[in-house]
Structure 1
Amino acid sequence: MTAPLTVSRIRSIDTVRGAIMVIMALDHVRDFFHESAFLADPTDVNTTTGILFFTRWITHFCAPSFMLLLGISAYLSGQNKTVAERSSFLIKRGLWLILVDMIFMTFGFTFDIYYKTIILAVLWALGTSMIVLGIFARFTSARVILIVGLIIVIGHNLLDSVKLTENSVSDILLKIFVTGRGTFLPRGDGGTIGFLYVVIPWVGIMMSGYGLGVLYKRDYPAESRKRILLISGLIITVLFFVFRFVNLYGDPAHWAAQATSTKTLISFFNVTKYPPSLIFTLMTQGPLLIALAFTEKSVNALARFFTVYGRVPFFFFMVHFYLIHLLTMIAVLTSGYTWAQATDDQLFFKFRPNDFGYSLGTTYLIWVAIVLALYFPCKWFGEYRVREKKWWLSYL
């Protein structure tokens, strides 16, 4: 009984994670290929449409869900390690992810060989969260880590109203680690470094996931785990609607009635991701726990499809991003733009002019094509990791 149960546990996590990765790719394809991506905010209730808002909204589930699942995986991977080994691995992998973000993802974003702007985005948040988690894992239990994580998730919005002296050291640190939507600081060489993701709220989500990892221990009853996940997911989802409706705490952007019911609905669900508010976390993580409960033993074709991507999330993340930007470059240069126009110094993303792009329908088709194109490479790499079991593969 033990072996099949373990496979089921891993499969359910990988299946949900794979679905998240596929949805994440939609947002990145939209950034590079949709005609209004650089001209309008898809969450602006005054200018967006229902389908465009949904296209952005559904991808909100990706980053926090990946954080939570990575926390669960960190707990499980540490079961066969000593406390010191577990802590050391998390810290080293966290540092590696930050380095990858600075070098490889910055170039993947910008295609700027001069690195005029170094970008610290989701891998920076993942890496710093893993470092903090590694420190906590060295000195305390999973239960304490869960409690601390929940306190961070629930309480960090109390700092939304804190105002410090503009551009003071304390103000900059508060923005980088807790409240900032995007903080760009000058470098000594004339360039800038952009902190697109803060740290503290994401740490809380990952720590909460680590605490949930105990539900996936080998000797934990499967039915009890499913029941806890389902009930917790339902409660969290209900809390989202309660907190959002009350409109008092949990998100700095309150919703309001609009001229049409569609716009009112958009306003209601337009919660804050940068940084992730309590209500944002409730909205995304309640359904995630429900999905984990219902995919516990899923072996259908769709589950197997998503699992291929979920087993190699780092590989998929890196390859899909470079593929998207390369295809954008080809599309731009074959659409009549000159090399000078495509590489203009004013462009944040090289080979992505602000007025370039296709309709939302075409963007969806490109997304599907990219996801399908990466199916067999991801399948091959997943099988290679299982077959080879080399130490360095644990970092990819």
Structure 2
Amino acid sequence: MEQAVLPSKKRIDSIDILRGSIMIIMALDHVRDFFHVGAMTGNPTDPATTTPALFFTRWITHFCAPVFVFLAGTSVFLAGIKKTKKELSVFLLKRGIWFIVLEIVIFNFLFSFDPLYHFIGLQVIWVTAISMLLLAALIYLPLPVLFVLGLAIVAGHNLLDNFNSTDPAKIPLGWSILHQQSFRFYAENRSFMVLYPILPWPGIMLLGYCLGSLYKPGYDAAKRRRKLIAYGLSAIVVFVVVRWINVYGDLFPWAEQKTTTATLLSFLNVSKYPPSLLYTCMTIGPALIVLAWIEKARKNWMNITVVYGRVPMFYYLLHFLLIHLLCMIVFFAQGYTMAEAGSGFMLFRPNEFGFSLGITYLIWIAVVASLYPLCKWYGRYRATHDHWWLPYL
């Protein structure tokens, strides 16, 4: 399907198409953060105050981070087919360390536009890095052991919710890094936020790594699709049943609201920080079914999404740079001054700044479309060159 559009080094189109799709959707959430009028003052997933359109604008982007980390695990398995365990482990160690530097030095600047780094945040690149570092040691274990370990982390980490502090000011740093999101000031006008605690992200990557075994050369494609559908449906059933029981699997139980629609939103409003068992089932389950469907589907839009899916980190950094640059341009065009730019956290984005949801969608489409030529060029470059640094970007 795609080889005529973009040459590849024996890549698996279905994985790249799914990854590209969630990368495109991910940009919607980041555009919303910078351009929607209520992004800094309201909660888009609060059933009592949101609208269905705003809720699902946020909800659909829930799929992005877990599917990204899950597929990163799958890609690690596939990369290891032609490597020894030692070679793969060393690669994961180097890439994990590089990702941590990338998160702290480069992404934090793109997020804040503050060269003095008054704000430091640990987000999805950080937990991807930590997951890779752990996987570098764990890949020597048998695949069934890794599957059980990944499942135990994802299914069991919510048991730790009972140890969370109810006072944000009293959350120990170590506990915050491990399991509970926190925001703290560590010096005058300097802050540090653990937006993505480590658990259960290594478990999600481990499960993705195990899924990679279904893509080994010679594996029966029809059997793989049946397994993907079975795994996906199982995850969805777990989500519906456990969420309905309402006693485990998420920080926030659902509750009956004033309307049926609001009650449905409450049911779907599961915890992302950190991703609960139910959050993971709700997102990974449908993604596995889509992955099975993509294998046999032949749609024109797939020729577009695969381009983004083959250069995910390049696209990730570039789209954040473009969004923040556009925000800064609009900020000054609307008459704001440098004195109103703020400090540390998302410069050039005042709380009262922004547009309607419709305009936000138009900006999202323009951002994604404008990056297509660059992503296509870089994808071709990666596919036809072997520089040592290419696997790291």
Does the alignment reach a TM-score above 0.5? yes
CA distance in 2, matches of 1:141, 1:212: 14
Partner of 2:368: 371
Residues in 2 aligned to 1:136 and 1:76: alpha-carbon distance in whole angstroms: 16
Say if 2:386 is the partner of 1:389.
yes
Moved more, 166-175 or 233-242: 166-175
In the other structure, the counterpart of 1:161 is 162
Q: Distance in 1 between matches of 2:131 and 2:193?
A: 18
Amino acid at match of 1:338: T
1:99 Cα deviation (Å)? Answer: 0.5
Partner of 1:145: 146
Q: Which of 125, 128, 133 is the aligned partner of 2:127?
A: 125
> CA offset at residue 92 of structure 1?
1.0
* Paired letter, 2:48: N
Paired letter, 1:25: A
Correspondence for 2:342: 344
Change (3 A) 1:338 1:255: same
Three-state SS of the structure 2 residue aligned to 1:115 is coil
Q: Which amino acid aligns with 1:28?
A: H
Residue of structure 2 equivalent to 1:209:
208
Q: How far did residue 184 of structure 1 move?
A: 2.9
CA distance in 1, matches of 2:168, 2:50: 33
Give how far 1:121 is off: 0.8
Q: Following TM superposition, by how much is the alpha carbon of 1:147 offset from its aligned partner in structure 2, in angstroms?
A: 1.4
Match of 1:301 in 2: 300
- The alignment's TM-score, normalised by the length of structure 1, stands at 0.94
RMSD of Structure 2 on Structure 1 (CA): 2.0
Distance 2:222 2:376 in 1: 30
SS at match of 2:295: coil
Q: Flag structure 1 segments of 5+ consecutive residues without an equivalent.
A: none
CA contact (8 A) 1:8 1:297 kept: no
CA displacement 1:375-395 (0-9 Å, x = unmatched)? 111000000000112121000
TM-score, structure 2 normalization: 0.94
1:331 matched to 2:333: no
Where does 1:198-277 land on structure 2 (aligned, <5 Å)?
Answer: 198-277=197-276
> Does the Cα contact within 8 Å between 1:146 and 1:209 map onto a contact in 2?
no
Is contact 1:15–1:306 with CA below 8 Å preserved after alignment? yes
Post-superposition shift, 1:182? Answer: 2.9
Identity %: 49
Give the partner amino acid of 1:359.
Answer: S
Q: Deviations over 1:158-211 (max 9, x none)?
A: 110015797999943122112x12343626x87333211011201110011001
In the alignment, does 2:100 pair up with 1:75? no
CA-to-partner distance for each residue in 1:81-109, whole Å, 9 max, x for gaps?
11111011111101111100101110011
> 2-side partners of 1:300 and 1:309: how far apart?
16
Query: Using the alignment, how far apart are the partners of 1:231 and 1:357 within structure 2?
Result: 43
Looking at structure 2, the residues matched to 41 and 169 of structure 1 have their Cα atoms a distance apart, in angstroms, of: 24
Residue 356 of structure 1 is matched in structure 2 by 353
Residues of 2 paired with 1:168 and 1:182: CA distance? 8
SS in 1 for 2:121: strand
What runs of 5+ residues in structure 2 fail to find an aligned partner? none
- Residues 97-152 of structure 1 show CA distances to partners (whole Å, capped at 9, x for unaligned) of 11001011100111111101111111101111110111111x31232212111100
Structure 1, residues 16-53: CA drift from partner, whole Å, max 9, x if none? 00000000000000000000000101111221111000
Counterpart of 2:39 in structure 1 is: 37
Distance 1:286 1:234 in 2: 6
Aligned partners of 2:138, 2:170: CA distance in 1, in Å? 26
Verify the 8 A CA contact 1:12 1:298 in the aligned structure 2. no
Alignment partners' CA distance in 2, 1:54 and 1:335: 29
- Equivalent of 2:16, from 3, 14, 18? 14
Q: Give me the whole-angstrom Cα distance separating, in 1, the residues matched to 2:50 and 2:133.
A: 38
Aligned-partner Cα distance in 1 for 2:298–2:168: 53
Q: CA deviation at 1:7?
A: 8.2
CA contact (8 A) 1:9 1:296 kept: no
Question: Which AA in structure 1 matches 2:363?
Answer: I
Shift of 1:298: 3.5
Q: 1:339 to 1:171 in 2, by over 3 A?
A: closer
Of 43, 46, 49, 2:48 maps to 46
Asked if residue 98 in structure 1 is aligned to residue 100 in structure 2, the reply is yes
| Separation of aligned partners in 2, 1:350 and 1:221 | 51
